[in-house]
Amino acid sequence: MLVNFSGSPIEVRQEGSGRTVVLIHGYPLDGAMWSSVARRLSDRFRVLKPDLPGHGENPAAPEGTIDSYADFVSSVVEASGGAVGLAGFSMGGYVALALLKRRPEQIAALALVDSRAVADDEAARAKRDESIALLRQSGVEPVAEAMLGKLLAPEALTRGDLADRVRRIMRRQSAAAFESDLMAMRGRPDSVEFLSKIAIPALIVAGEKDVISQPDEGRAMAEAIPGARLTVIPGSGHLTPMESPAAVARALGDFFGAALPG
């Protein structure tokens, strides 16, 4: 599917047919992180898995803000033809919340996967600054390698094929994309108070062994959003869509199947 963004046509991968579900990737990845989940969902839904600006095959310049990423996703939704089911992984969840605040009519149901509502505190911002300094000094490789152990549960790290796939996705992102993501996450607003205002069906997905967005945070988010559901993925770390794609696809499929009109 072609999307017009900033005056340029951007190709967005799609598969399947039916009600539309858009999957937003996280840092430091691209839409391919959703491939196994998208394949499983495509027998019930039309699934779009865009690369955010500057990531994967998207040539648009990354601007270093969550709102700029949300503007791109808004263009994807507009091109898709109507309100969608939106799932955001980690940073993609921040993007989804930003879009919901600004253009709520575009989202019919929301899934936040291994994501958070709180903004970075001072210590977290300092960590982002350290990563940016390392990125500028040494490039993508050391920053990507440092992320691997945070993305995957210890057991998943021993699955060489999975770890290698995650490495390949991270390593093909440009240094500009890495820095844009780090700046966007560093500067994102707090969304905790916004959660109680969400008036559409919502699902929170959390990995049981996630060390970035821990299950207790997911539980608190689900309690704060009226009527929200919580699904904890057993044994998974942060990157549940790649560690446990069948379980994540089942959770998203059941949720969007019930929540989306038609």
The range of the structural domain enclosing residue 101 comes to 2-259
Q: Contact, 217 vs 191, CB < 8 A?
A: no
Give the whole-angstrom CA distance, residue 85 versus residue 83.
Answer: 7
For residue 252, the domain's CATH number is: 3.40.50.1820
Q: What kind and span of H or E run contains 47?
A: strand 46-48
pLDDT tens digit string along 107-121? 999 999 999 999 999
**pLDDT score of 25 more than 90:** yes
Measure Cα distances from 25 to 12, 14, 88, 92, 193 in Å.
13, 14, 6, 5, 24
* pLDDT on residue 206: 98
83 CB contacts (<8 Å, ≥6 apart)? 77, 105, 106, 107, 108
**Count of domains observed in the chain:** 1
Output the pTM of the full model.
0.97
DSSP string of 84-137, one letter each residue: EEEEEETHHHHHHHHHHHH-GGGEEEEEEES--SSPP-HHHHHHHHHHHHHHHH
Q: What are the pLDDT digits (tens) for 35-80?
A: 999 999 999 999 999 999 999 999 999 999 999 999 999 999 999 9
